[in-house]
């Protein structure tokens, strides 16, 4: 804190030099409008970036980049920092040549251009997207040094598109026989995922918009599926096709991956819902408090089963809990930011958050998860996260139960 | 919705509707031999996945960890005894359609959808041959896929008996939200290994230089 | 529509070449994760930019750039396209050296660093910001060719910061004597605006966050005031000081500008609330419909007095109206997107939207506004906007009453 | 909020608390003559605002449109008869404090806050002198500002009698939401002049090349 030190030093005398000597920007003319016709962050905002976790995957076109949750505010993820998960790399697809097809158990298999789709009745909704493998590295022991890597396969945006139900109706889907849909991407992996028809008709969106503009290429430009509450792999990017069928498809990413290893050696298949979870983002591991005194402990809570009902925070390793303030609006299958007042007296602290959703489900401890699912499960780790604050002010990642 | 979209032609549907289901709906007619599959594998696959499908270079190994007993049982024993260091593709995959569909749509990685139908049959057969699921002289075809399915080492390895698929499914883990003087241990059971401290780079460069906190300089050891 | 034509042509035969011949991105490996550690829009998204209106001002450091509303979705404005209004140019201020002061009728005048402020209890809320001069060019006759220029001094973001009431409390403001506050910027113009204490204590935020990340430099990095419902000029950027006082300050931008000329030659001073307004963004002037058939008419509604209650749409120049679907959540002092189904039969159409807010206020026609305020008013033009659709498919800006 | 912020020193408050209110709270002691003001104006202001404050080059004119009668009435007649083509600063500004405060904080435009207190008094006096509000030999000071206020041409030109300040203020325009067969004319009263069609550039470049609509090519005349 050189700025802090400086401030303190000069405050002892006449005052802070940053006040007493007017800064240059107060005494000069600044830059014109539209200097950046498409604006970018400040030159002082170069540390919070999407980053990879070394060794997580062996090739970076079938890999992950993580959202820097440690320094974000509110619930909207800046689109430039939305996490990435590609299986065969990303492309910047020409929307004029992109086509979308619906086939299978429908009266009329149809082809739509982007022009067609964007003329249809659209909706915009704010939803979280979380990779099923978020926090996977921590099923066993503590493995990563910061919330970016432990929880950063998580983002939240306002998505705009046409409800899938509108398209299924438009093609005359078979209301009796239809039991599942298959969503298929136009990338090399031809990513495919099965979705139950009830879910498809409920709140799934064929989306082109993200945070007011077109999807970013890394997130599926010009078209992706939005499957609220369900793990990100089902939100098929570069969406080219929906097939209506009567049986699940057991695609690679629902028969070899995104299956949950149980202690008895079996795998749970078709586990898609992201259960209720929360994490304190500031302060969090890899951060240092400069000082004793007041802090706003803040974090995120979410549930694939609906709205967040309550978030409790403990600063004594789980012995006592206080309900945090939830920011409004609290939306279904959307991030909810929580805040709670706290004064650090300089002693060591273990802080945790625990979310409860509208179904009454309580975010579990890691040992409770393991008691049912063992330690090989990889996906769907929604355990309570513990951060240890040391007397030095340094926060680190620990498991507590 | 007047004047929106148009009916797809048969050829268009055929061009894109390539998925193959566990019941083999979508599987095109054709066949391919293990022998031919070895050619395909060595020329188009082995550079990434290893000559025996064992490579860990670009992805987890495809072959390994399955036994003749597993083929009989339809359940891979190493998934329970955890003796295999890594879980290979064949240890996990329950359905042969999954392999066929995925290789057909996505492999080889840098040239997806470039294989002929015969090549896909053949290389699928060869992978299963490497795993000793199919004999050296086998010719895999749309006619005998259902038989091969009965030999998949982990075909009985899956369960859908859980609450994480249905919108109103019941959660398997039921915690309780205690608020005061909560019982039970609250011990630190695991901490970040020192070796992992700086693996993701210096965290002081991954946080703002102002605000409520700073990033820790992880190039140095912790101060306590 | 060469893509359309192509599609139509090939559809007559075997099908669309964009389907029959697999696109390159389906048959190759794409780019790795974190290729862009801070992502940017697609290379096909280069047309929607912040743009100036030629001749509106004479120097571009005291000017405006407009948000391209004609192509945006939902309610969140991408931060790179947030409108700009500077009076003495913009600066990219070093947050480590930025200070914030509260003085005047307070027990303790105080200085805060960004560190201090960001430790305080924070809130995040989605609000619109509209310049008081938005749509000013149309107080008289039709003047501009597109909604970007008629309504583009309008944006909407999730803002994060500490409630001003927290800071006023922290400094012990004089609850009896305090009647107004003055907000002051650190730019060359030292922008200053008076705000009533009731408003200051209500929902005003001293904000650092916008859409999940720090404010952009053009929007006040690292600190700006958020004054929900009030014209943008009060949302002081590069905020350096709040003074608590007992009288209004009659600053340049509340004594020479942002005053409303009335037909009797007097000016209304201290008009700050942005009254209920709406506009159809697609289709809108300067756009062309390619085809008859179904369209989703979509637009935005907002009110400085609270929530939007209803938006009506007319496609016959105001004779008949239908209530549009409002997207949820409908938030106070926030944009609300509306959508309505419509089939174009190829005949000429005049389309309009009309918003009603929770106070019961009905967005007026331009002649109703003029009947009270005349034609010199400049600011606070919240009239119903009419777009004329010609048989050729071209949409243009008209005034109808 | 323990350990957040600190008390400002007097010097710090003095450095930043520069605002001057209509009742002259905040006005520093000092003075400046019209004569000195002319020097300041010609060297530091006239290049942008014109020798007589009349320039329209970088901003609307500062001086012009006010009369001796206005000085008496405290209400600028040209605001009612609309004979002046543009509304100048002095036609509008009701309070002399506003001029003093703004020049002090923001002018000259490229070097804001560079004027001495004397220069601000002087150039404010000179502007009012150009507008014939103050005589040539006037010396403006903190002592006589209140007197000068009484000569401001539009000092009575403002009203706060409206509903757009208070949170629950009453709206001045009361429309009614008719839904069906609404009466009244629905005629097109104004259309975009042809000359304005392409002034903002070609709109086909300001819309996406796909989606529900296209941008109109405004470099060509409308098709009808
Ligand atoms: C250039 C490297 C490369 C080549 C060549 C290649 N693969 Fe792959 N393969 C990969 C990668 C990387 C993945 C993982 C993709 C992902 O993450 O979704 C993969 C995945 C697979 C999988 C699924 C494994 C699993 O557990 O998910 C199979 C099966 C497979 N490849 C078979 C083949 C076959 C057959 C060929 C040749 C016809 C081939 N591969 C050629 C790189 C390659
Ligand atoms: C380099 C150009 C430039 C110079 C030099 C300059 N000004 Fe200005 N002045 C401007 C601009 C541009 C504005 C409008 C700023 C805005 O939009 O807020 C302005 C605004 C003003 C206004 C407010 C007018 C109004 O109606 O809002 C006053 C008064 C003024 N200047 C006085 C001065 C004085 C006195 C000086 C010299 C001491 C000076 N100016 C020097 C460019 C200049
Ligand atoms: Ca059509
Ligand atoms: Ca199929
Ligand atoms: Ca090898
Ligand atoms: Ca401190
Ligand atoms: Ca003051
Ligand atoms: Ca001149
Ligand atoms: Co995932
Ligand atoms: Co404004």
pLDDT of residue B150: 98
Query: Helix, strand or coil for residue A147?
Result: helix
C-alpha distance from residue A300 to each of A325, A335, B176 (Å): 11, 6, 20
| pLDDT above 90 coverage of chain B, percent | 94
> Contact D212/A291, CB-based, under 8 Å?
no
Summary mean pLDDT of chain B: 96
Q: What is the pLDDT of residues A143-198, one digit of tens each?
A: 999 999 999 999 999 999 999 999 999 999 999 999 999 999 999 999 999 999 99
Is D11 near chain A, with CB under 8 Å? yes
Is C7 near chain D, with CB under 8 Å? no
Candidates C19, C95, C96; nearest CB to B12: C19
**C155's tokens:** 């944006």
The radius of gyration of chain A from alpha carbons, rounded to an integer in Å, stands at 23
* Residue minimizing CA distance to atom 16 of ligand 2: C87
Which residue from C113, C127, C277, C301 is spatially nearest to C203, judged by alpha carbons? C127
Q: How far apart are CA C237 and CA C207, in angstroms?
A: 10
The DSSP line for A158-201 is EEEEEEHHHHHHHTTB-TTT--EEEEEESSTT--EEEEEHHHHH
What's the gap in Å between A233 CA and the centre of ligand 9? 4
Which residue from A306, A348, A305, A168 is spatially nearest to A243, judged by alpha carbons? A168
pLDDT of residue B183: 84
pLDDT of residue B75: 97
Is B201 near chain A, with CB under 8 Å? yes
Q: How far apart are CA A45 and CA C222, in angstroms?
A: 10
pLDDT of residue C227: 98
The answer to whether residue B140 scores a pLDDT higher than 50 is: yes
Which residue from C152, C154, C150, C166 is spatially nearest to C127, judged by alpha carbons? C154
Which positions of chain C have pLDDT values less than 50? 1-2
Are C197 and C69 in contact by the 8 Å Cβ rule? The answer is no
Q: How far is CA C388 from the centre of its chain?
A: 23
What residues of chain A, 79 to 138, have a C-beta less than 8 Å from chain C? Answer: 79-82, 84-86, 88-99, 101, 111, 113, 115, 119-125
Are C386 and C351 in contact by the 8 Å Cβ rule? The answer is yes
pLDDT of residue A1: 40
Q: How far apart are CA C169 and CA A164, in angstroms?
A: 50
Are D59 and D145 in contact by the 8 Å Cβ rule? The answer is no
Q: What is the pLDDT of residues A51-101, one digit of tens each?
A: 999 989 999 999 999 999 999 999 999 999 999 999 999 999 999 999 999
The answer to whether residue A358 scores a pLDDT higher than 70 is: yes
Q: What is the pLDDT of residues A296-355, one digit of tens each?
A: 999 999 999 999 999 999 999 999 999 999 999 999 999 999 999 999 999 999 999 999
> Contact B2/C294, CB-based, under 8 Å?
yes
Select from A17, A21, A115, A116 the residue whose CB has the most chain D CBs within 10 Å, as the one to mutate to test that interface.
A115
Over residues B123-127, the mean pLDDT reads 98
The answer to whether residue A7 scores a pLDDT higher than 70 is: no
Tokens 């804190």, residue located:
A1
Candidates B113, B200, B222; nearest CB to A394: B222
Are A283 and A71 in contact by the 8 Å Cβ rule? The answer is no
pLDDT of residue A301: 99
Q: What is the pLDDT of residues D117-144, one digit of tens each?
A: 999 999 999 999 999 999 999 999 999 9
* Residue minimizing CA distance to atom 16 of ligand 1: A87
**Looking at beta carbons, which residues of chain B come within 8 Å of C113?**
210
In B, minimum Cα distance to C94 occurs at B210
pLDDT confidence of A5, banded at 50, 70, 90?
low
Over residues D54-83, the mean pLDDT reads 95
**Domains in chain A: ranges and CATH:** 1-30 (no CATH), 79-268 (3.90.420.10), 277-398 (2.60.40.650)
Q: How far apart are CA B168 and CA C224, in angstroms?
A: 44
**Looking at beta carbons, which residues of chain A come within 8 Å of D211?**
114-115, 118
Which residue from B140, B156, B183 is spatially nearest to B32, judged by alpha carbons? B140
**Contact exists between B and C (3 or more beta carbon pairs < 8 Å):** yes
> Contact C23/A113, CB-based, under 8 Å?
no
pLDDT of residue C100: 98
Q: How far is CA A154 from the centre of its chain?
A: 2
| Comparison of pLDDT for A2 and C133, the residue scoring more | C133
The DSSP line for A243-255 is EEESS----HHHH
Q: What is the 3-state secondary structure (H, E, C) of chain C?
A: CHHHHHHHHHHHCCCCHHHHCCCHHHHCCCECCCCCCCCCCCCCCCCCCCECCCCCCCCCCCCEEECCHHHCCCCCCCHHHCCEECCCCECCCCCCCCEEEEEECECCCEEEEHHHHHHCCCEEEEEEEECCCCCHHHCCCCCCCCHHHHHCCEEEEEEEEEEHHHHHHHCCECCCCCCEEEEEECCCCCCEEEEEHHHHHHCCEEEEEECCEECCHHHCCCCEEECCCECHHHCCCCEEEEEEECCCCCCHHHHCCCCEECCCCCEECCCCECCCEEEEEECCCCEEECCCEEEEEEEEEECCCCCEEEEEEECECCCCCEECEECCCCCCCCCEEEEEEEEECCCCEEEEEEEEECCCCECCCHHHHHHHHCCCCCCCCCCCCEEEECCCCEEEEEEEC
**Cβ-proximal residues to A21 (8 Å cutoff; 6+ apart), any chain:** none
Query: Helix, strand or coil for residue A351?
Result: strand
The minimum CA-CA distance between B132 and chain A, rounded to whole Å, is: 19
Are A12 and A5 in contact by the 8 Å Cβ rule? The answer is no
Q: Chains B, C: CB contacts under 8 A, how many? A: 61
Select from A65, A70, A188 the residue whose CB has the most chain B CBs within 10 Å, as the one to mutate to test that interface.
A188
**Contact exists between B and D (3 or more beta carbon pairs < 8 Å):** no
Summary mean pLDDT of chain D: 96
What's the gap in Å between D80 CA and the centre of ligand 8? 29
**Domains in chain D: ranges and CATH:** 29-149 (1.10.760.10)
pLDDT of residue A13: 79
């Amino acid at each position: 804190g050189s700025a802090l030190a400086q401030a303190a030093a000069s405050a002892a005398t006449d005052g802070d030099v940053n006040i007493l000597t007017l800064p240059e920007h107060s005494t000069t003319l600044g830059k014109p409008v539209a200097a950046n016709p498409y604006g970018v962050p400040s030159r002082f905002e170069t540390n919070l970036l999407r980053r990879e976790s070394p060794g997580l995957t062996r090739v970076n076109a079938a890999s992950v980049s993580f959202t820097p949750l440690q320094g974000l505010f509110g619930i909207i993820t800046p689109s430039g920092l939305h996490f990435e998960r590609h299986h065969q790399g990303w492309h910047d697809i020409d929307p004029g040549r992109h086509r979308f097809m619906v086939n299978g158990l429908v009266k009329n298999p149809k082809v739509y251009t982007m022009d067609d789709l964007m003329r249809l009745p659209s909706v915009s909704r704010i939803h979280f997207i979380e990779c099923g493998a978020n926090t996977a590295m921590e099923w066993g022991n503590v493995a990563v040094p910061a919330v970016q890597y432990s929880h950063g396969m998580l983002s939240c945006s306002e998505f705009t598109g046409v409800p899938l139900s509108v398209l299924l109706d438009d093609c005359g889907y078979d209301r009796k026989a239809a039991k599942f849909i298959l969503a298929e991407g136009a990338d090399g992996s031809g990513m495919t995922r099965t979705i139950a028809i009830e879910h498809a008709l409920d709140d799934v969106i064929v989306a082109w918009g993200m945070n007011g503009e077109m999807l970013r290429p890394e997130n599926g430009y010009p078209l992706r599926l939005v499957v609220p509450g369900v793990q990100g792999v089902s939100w098929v990017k570069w969406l080219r096709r929906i097939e209506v069928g009567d049986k699940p498809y057991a695609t690679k990413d629902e028969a070899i991956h995104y299956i949950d290893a149980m202690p008895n050696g079996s795998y749970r298949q078709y586990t898609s819902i992201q259960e209720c979870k929360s994490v304190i983002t500031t302060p969090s591991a890899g951060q240092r408090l400069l000082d004793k005194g007041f802090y706003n402990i803040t974090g995120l809570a979410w549930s694939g089963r609906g709205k967040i009902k309550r978030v409790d925070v403990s600063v004594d390793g789980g012995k006592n809990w206080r309900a945090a303030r939830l920011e409004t609006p609290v939306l279904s299958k959307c991030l909810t930011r929580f805040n709670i007042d706290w004064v650090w007296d300089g002693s060591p602290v273990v802080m945790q958050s625990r979310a409860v959703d509208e179904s009454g489900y309580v975010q579990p401890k890691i040992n409770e998860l393991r008691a049912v699912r063992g330690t090989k499960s990889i996906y769907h780790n929604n355990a309570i996260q513990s951060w240890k604050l040391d007397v030095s002010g340094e926060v680190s990642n620990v498991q507590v139960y | 919705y007047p004047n929106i979209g148009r009916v797809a032609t048969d050829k268009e549907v055929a061009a894109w509707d390539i998925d193959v289901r566990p019941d083999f709906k979508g599987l095109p007619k054709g066949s391919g031999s293990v022998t031919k599959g070895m050619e395909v594998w060595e020329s188009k696959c082995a550079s990434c996945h290893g000559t025996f499908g064992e490579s860990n270079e670009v992805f987890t190994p495809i072959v390994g960890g399955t036994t003749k007993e597993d083929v009989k049982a339809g359940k891979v024993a190493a998934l329970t005894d955890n003796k295999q260091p890594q879980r290979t593709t064949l240890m996990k995959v329950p359905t042969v359609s999954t392999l066929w569909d995925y290789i057909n749509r996505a492999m080889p990685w840098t040239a997806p959808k470039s294989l002929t139908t015969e090549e896909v049959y053949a290389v699928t057969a060869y992978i299963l041959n490497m795993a000793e699921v199919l004999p050296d002289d086998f010719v895999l075809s749309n006619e005998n896929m259902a038989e091969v399915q009965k030999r998949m080492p982990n075909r009985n390895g899956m369960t859908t008996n859980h609450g994480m698929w249905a919108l109103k499914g019941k959660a398997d883990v039921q915690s309780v939200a205690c608020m005061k003087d909560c019982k039970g241990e609250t011990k630190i059971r695991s901490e970040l290994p020192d070796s992992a401290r700086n693996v993701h780079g210096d965290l002081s460069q991954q946080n703002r230089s102002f605000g409520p906190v700073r990033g820790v300089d992880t190039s140095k050891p912790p101060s306590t």
